[in-house]
């Protein structure tokens, strides 16, 4: 047993004192520091934007005047762990729930991808910067630290063999497997050093800046990420040692490992993406939706034609906002209710139909994702990426859950809203405001004022919607977006984790097998 500890100590010392370790440490620390700093700022701005948007959206709800315009914007709180894995640049930040729209992950559209003159954030946003590929801690560990691992172990056996120290080592009363275990543990400790130091640096940065506060669950998630990263490094080290045992010469070992690295990190993921696309093409969303819309349009015209035959002209302004319905008569308003009872359920049905189409498209998207995952399953880089994204909540699974929660909320919202279609308050409040109906007396009053103050009076006062009190929405279910908790995210990370473990164990077993037959 002491033999192993001695070997570990020797390996660790040799590694820690080597130039490659110091270069690796400096590079990794610098990168994590720089990237962590920038991503912390990014997180802070997303957090700020989230708070501002949530406030604005809850206020918008308070201002609702009619039921038909109720639209709930649910803001997805940014996950502090997304600092470590930012995921795609286009992940959704807001989910819109309305009677006419069922949310799916296809709603994901670039936050701030539009350059225009309106906006509220206090931090500059530049959608053009997306052209730079995003680099996060997951990338640094996944690509750079795996290279570092290769550099650590590429010559672990071949180098000692070339120097002749392997014979000396083996002449000592130490089993070959013990030697392997010692070397492996020593390398793992060395590889873990920059990672640990980098993450510590990050945590200190968060504490000092006060920009990031972590809940206990976040800490746990962070710990899981750390563990997953160690596992990933362990996998690469095992692979490295294995290849070093097969290499005739240290250099060829290094080159072979680099080739494996390129294949695992670039070739396999890229190739898997292409192949998955062919296996599971994404359904053409816009075409399917257009088809559904055309069908709906025909049905709608029919209904409208039958319903509106000479009865009321207000129906023709169906596309206009509720403002248009202030200046109507009581009779018109009541007719309108009858009309709504037919038209709006159709709109709801259309939303459902859209959802079914989008759901199919979403499932095709998920199938593609699954195909990609199984195609590059053998690549530790891809598996690690999946783990980190799952833990950071920036993968497709997390968003699917979030959107499902939003849909559940929509169900309860619809339960509340459906009966309201049969009330005038669905589109107009003119019954609450008799002075706004175009009766003879009212008309002459307003015409009088228009003569004195100008035509604008009609717009500015008569049809002025702000004079109407907001609805009482106390009975409406409150939006409450539950983002997937750590347990669900861990569940998503479980399979790739197991995969990494199996790969690592496999590499180690093969290395042991080879070492027992290794000619010193």
Partner 1 sequence: MIATLIRREFLEHVTSLRLSVLLIMTTGLLVTSAAYFSARYDSTTTQSPFVRPGASQGLVDKDGKTNLMMAPCTGFGLHRALSPLGFLAGAGEREFPDLVMVAPHGLKSIQRETKTGEAFEPAAPADWAYLIGVILSFGAGLLTYRSVSGERRDGTLAQVLANPVPKSMPLLAKYLAALLALAFVLTFAMASGVLTLIILGKVPLGGDDWMKLSLFWGTSILYLSFFVLLGLLSSVAGRSPMMSAAGFLLNWTLLVFIIPNLGGIIAGFDHTVLPPREISAMEQAISARYPEPPGTTLQQSSVIMLEREDASEALLIQHFHAMCGQVGTGERFARLSPSAVYAYAAEATAGGGLPRLIQFVDNAVRYRKGLFQAMLDADRSDPSSQHIYIPYRCGGNVFSPRNVDLGPAKEFRDLPPSSGESLLAAMWDLLLLGVYNLLAFAVAFTWFLRQDVAALPGE
444-503 residues in contact with partner 1 (CB under 8 A) are 454
Single out the residue of 8, 153, 180, 365 in contact with partner 1 (rule: CB under 8 A): 365
Shortest approach of partner 1 to residue 278 CB, angstroms?
7
Long-range contacts of 407-412 (CB under 8 A, 24+ apart): 407/102, 407/103, 409/72, 409/74, 409/97, 409/477, 409/479, 409/480, 409/481, 410/97, 410/102, 410/103, 412/477
What 3-state DSSP class applies to 142? helix
Q: How far is CA 22 from CA 179, 193, 460, in A?
A: 24, 11, 72
> Which residue, 252 or 308, has its beta carbon nearer to partner 1?
252
Judge contact between 86 and 394, C-beta under 8 A. Answer: yes
- Among residues 201, 390, 199, 368, which one has the least CA distance to residue 275? 368
Part of the chain binding partner 1 (CB under 8 A), chosen from 53-61, 140-148, 205-213, 486-494: 140-148
- Among residues 285, 290, 270, which one has the least CA distance to residue 365? 285
Part of the chain binding partner 1 (CB under 8 A), chosen from 182-190, 218-226, 285-293, 470-478: 285-293
> Which residue, 174 or 263, has its beta carbon nearer to partner 1?
263
Single out the residue of 27, 192, 214, 490 in contact with partner 1 (rule: CB under 8 A): 27
> Which residue, 151 or 224, has its beta carbon nearer to partner 1?
151
Shortest approach of partner 1 to residue 28 CB, angstroms?
11
d(CA 248, CA 364): 47
Q: 3-class secondary structure for 46-84? A: HHHHHHHHHHHHHHHHHCCCCHHHCCEEEECCCCHHHHC
> Which residue, 41 or 172, has its beta carbon nearer to partner 1?
41
Q: Please give the residues from 286 up to 345 whose contact with partner 1 meets the rule CB under 8 A.
A: 286, 290
Part of the chain binding partner 1 (CB under 8 A), chosen from 53-61, 194-202, 255-263, 486-494: 255-263
> Which residue, 307 or 324, has its beta carbon nearer to partner 1?
324
Part of the chain binding partner 1 (CB under 8 A), chosen from 70-78, 393-401, 492-500, 506-514: 393-401
Q: How far separated are the first and last CA of the chain, in Å rounded?
A: 23
Part of the chain binding partner 1 (CB under 8 A), chosen from 94-102, 147-155, 300-308, 438-446: 147-155
Judge contact between 115 and 127, C-beta under 8 A. Answer: yes
Q: Please give the residues from 103 up to 132 whose contact with partner 1 meets the rule CB under 8 A.
A: 105-106, 108-110, 113-132
Judge contact between 29 and 193, C-beta under 8 A. Answer: no
Q: Please give the residues from 31 up to 70 whose contact with partner 1 meets the rule CB under 8 A.
A: 31, 34-35, 38, 41
Q: Please give the residues from 398 up to 417 whose contact with partner 1 meets the rule CB under 8 A.
A: 399
> Which residue, 54 or 106, has its beta carbon nearer to partner 1?
106
Shortest approach of partner 1 to residue 220 CB, angstroms?
26
H/E stretch holding 384 reads helix 380-392
- Among residues 382, 431, 481, 471, which one has the least CA distance to residue 79? 481
State yes or no: residue 251 binds partner 1 (CB under 8 A). Answer: yes
- Among residues 113, 111, 106, 115, which one has the least CA distance to residue 93? 111
Shortest approach of partner 1 to residue 473 CB, angstroms?
28
Q: How far is CA 119 from CA 94, 109, 274, 363, in A?
A: 15, 16, 37, 33
Single out the residue of 44, 60, 144, 343 in contact with partner 1 (rule: CB under 8 A): 144
State yes or no: residue 250 binds partner 1 (CB under 8 A). Answer: yes
d(CA 200, CA 210): 15
Shortest approach of partner 1 to residue 36 CB, angstroms?
11
Query: b or e along 237-256 (b: 16 or more beta carbons within 10 Å of the residue's beta carbon)?
Result: bbbbbbbbbebeebeebbeb
Part of the chain binding partner 1 (CB under 8 A), chosen from 197-205, 214-222, 392-400, 419-427: 392-400
State yes or no: residue 350 binds partner 1 (CB under 8 A). Answer: no
Q: At what angle do helices 2-17 and 19-62 cross, to 10 degrees?
A: 80
Single out the residue of 51, 167, 223, 281 in contact with partner 1 (rule: CB under 8 A): 281
Number of residues forming the site for partner 1 (CB under 8 A)? 81
> Which residue, 115 or 168, has its beta carbon nearer to partner 1?
115
Q: 79 — phi, psi (to 5°)?
A: -90, 125
Single out the residue of 16, 192, 263, 343 in contact with partner 1 (rule: CB under 8 A): 263
What 3-state DSSP class applies to 24? helix
Q: Please give the residues from 65 up to 104 whose contact with partner 1 meets the rule CB under 8 A.
A: 88-92
> Which residue, 160 or 285, has its beta carbon nearer to partner 1?
285
Single out the residue of 3, 33, 77, 271 in contact with partner 1 (rule: CB under 8 A): 271
Shortest approach of partner 1 to residue 430 CB, angstroms?
21
> Which residue, 163 or 433, has its beta carbon nearer to partner 1?
163
| Matching residue, tokens 């192949």 | 275
**Alpha-carbon Rg of the chain, whole angstroms?**
32
d(CA 436, CA 429): 10
Q: Is 26 left (phi over 0), alpha (psi -120 to 50) or beta?
A: alpha
> Which residue, 135 or 378, has its beta carbon nearer to partner 1?
135
């Amino acid at each position: 047993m002491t033999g192993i500890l001695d070997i570990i100590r020797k390996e660790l010392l040799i590694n820690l004192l080597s130039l490659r370790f110091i270069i690796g440490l400096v590079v990794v620390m610098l990168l994590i520091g720089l990237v962590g700093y920038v991503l912390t700022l990014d997180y802070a701005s997303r957090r700020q934007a989230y708070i501002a948007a949530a406030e604005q959206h809850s206020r918008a709800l308070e201002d609702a005047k009619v039921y038909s315009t109720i639209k709930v914007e649910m803001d997805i709180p940014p996950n502090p762990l997304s600092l470590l894995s930012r995921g795609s640049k286009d992940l959704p930040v807001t989910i819109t729930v309305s009677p006419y729209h069922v949310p799916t992950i296809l709603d994901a559209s670039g936050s701030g991808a539009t350059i225009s003159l309106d906006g509220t954030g206090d931090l500059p946003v530049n959608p053009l910067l997306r052209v730079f590929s995003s680099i996060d801690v997951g990338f640094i560990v996944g690509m750079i630290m795996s290279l570092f691992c290769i550099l650590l172990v590429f010559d672990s056996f071949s180098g000692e063999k070339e120097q002749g120290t392997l014979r000396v080592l083996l002449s000592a009363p130490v089993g070959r497997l013990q030697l392997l275990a010692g070397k492996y543990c020593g390398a793992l400790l060395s590889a873990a050093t920059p990672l640990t130091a980098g993450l510590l640096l990050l945590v200190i940065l968060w504490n000092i800046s006060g920009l990031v506060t972590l809940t206990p669950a976040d800490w746990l998630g962070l710990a899981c990420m750390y563990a997953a990263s160690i596992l990933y490094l362990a996998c690469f080290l095992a692979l490295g040692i294995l290849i070093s045992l097969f290499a005739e010469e240290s250099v060829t070992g290094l080159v072979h490992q680099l080739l494996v690295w390129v294949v695992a990190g670039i070739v396999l993921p890229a190739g898997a993406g292409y192949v998955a696309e062919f296996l599971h093409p994404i359904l053409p969303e816009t075409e399917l939706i257009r088809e559904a819309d055309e069908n709906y349009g025909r049905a709608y015209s029919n209904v409208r034609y039958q319903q509106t035959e000479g009865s009321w002209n207000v129906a023709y302004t169906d596309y206009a906002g509720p403002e248009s319905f202030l200046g109507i008569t009581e009779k018109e308003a009541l007719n309108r209710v009858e009309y709504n009872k037919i038209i709006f359920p159709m709109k709801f049905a259309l939303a459902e139909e859209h959802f079914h189409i989008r759901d199919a498209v979403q499932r095709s998207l998920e199938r593609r994702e699954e195909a990609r995952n199984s195609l590059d399953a053998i690549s530790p880089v891809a598996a690690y990426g999946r783990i980190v994204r799952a833990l950071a909540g920036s993968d497709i699974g997390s968003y699917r859950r979030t959107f499902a929660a939003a849909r559940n909320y929509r169900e309860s919202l619809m339960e509340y809203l459906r009966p309201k279609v049969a009330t005038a308050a669905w589109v107009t409040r003119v019954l609450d405001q008799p002075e706004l109906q175009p009766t003879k007396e009212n008309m002459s009053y307003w015409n009088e004022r228009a003569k004195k103050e100008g035509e604008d009076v009609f717009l500015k006062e008569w049809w002025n919607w702000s004079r109407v009190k907001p609805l009482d929405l106390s009975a409406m279910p409150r939006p409450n977006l539950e983002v997937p908790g750590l347990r669900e995210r861990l569940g998503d990370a479980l399979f790739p984790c197991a995969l990494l473990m199996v790969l690592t164990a496999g590499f180690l077993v093969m290395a042991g097998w080879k070492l027992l037959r290794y000619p010193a």
